[in-house]
Amino acid sequence: MLAARWLFVLVFAVCSHKLCCGGPLHAQCKVEWYFGIPCRAVYESLVSQIKKWRSMSGCVAGGQRCLYKLQSASVHFISAKHTTPAKGSVDDINFRLVPFLFFSCCHVSAMSVSESWYAVRDHGTNYCNLYNLIEGSGLTESRGYREVTSEFFCTQRSSANCTIY
Ligand SMILES: *[C@@H]1O[C@H](CO)[C@@H](O)[C@H](O)[C@H]1NC(C)=O
């Protein structure tokens, strides 16, 4: 009985620590991006970048800019998978595109989730899965570019080094 109580205390302590400090309980990342260009342009940039990084060739010198696979694409919703070259683990990514200001601007809600349920720490991989596409396609340089995320929404966001992960 005492053991059970201690177990409860231990589990509670671990969980509350994760909730307060470690970000999401499962390795994942949610980012909001804003662009001062139409969603059609954002959509075309993202889809062509995903296709460009399909093969392993982008990663021979290291990094994660390879092994993307487009699942489905419309101007409102893009879904893809990304495989980590070294470990072979798969992350599901998606982008929801919503126009605003009479279609002149685009709000993108992006999400990356590790398929393996036990992945808790990811070195920022889920963030980099998304950011590398935005950066690689040149969208970080586009008019009105703004990013909103945090450690709470993205596992290990603050320590993410997207050159490696
Ligand atoms: C990220 O990793 C690369 C390659 O190891 C390194 O050159 C760079 O300084 C790192 N960047 C940060 C911000 O730690």
Q: Structural domain tally of the chain?
A: 1
Taking CA atoms only, the protein residue closest to ligand 1 atom 3 is 163
For residue 125, the CA-to-ligand 1 centroid distance in Å is 14
CATH number at residue 80: 3.30.310.80
Mean pLDDT of 68-95: 94
pLDDT at 105 over 90: yes
pTM of the model: 0.83
Residue 19, in any domain of the structure: no
For residue 159, the CA-to-ligand 1 centroid distance in Å is 11
**Residue 22: pLDDT band by 50, 70, 90 thresholds?**
low
Residue 89, in any domain of the structure: yes
Report the interhelical angle of 39-52 vs 125-136 (nearest 10°): 110
Which structural domain, as residue segments, surrounds residue 92?
A: 28-159
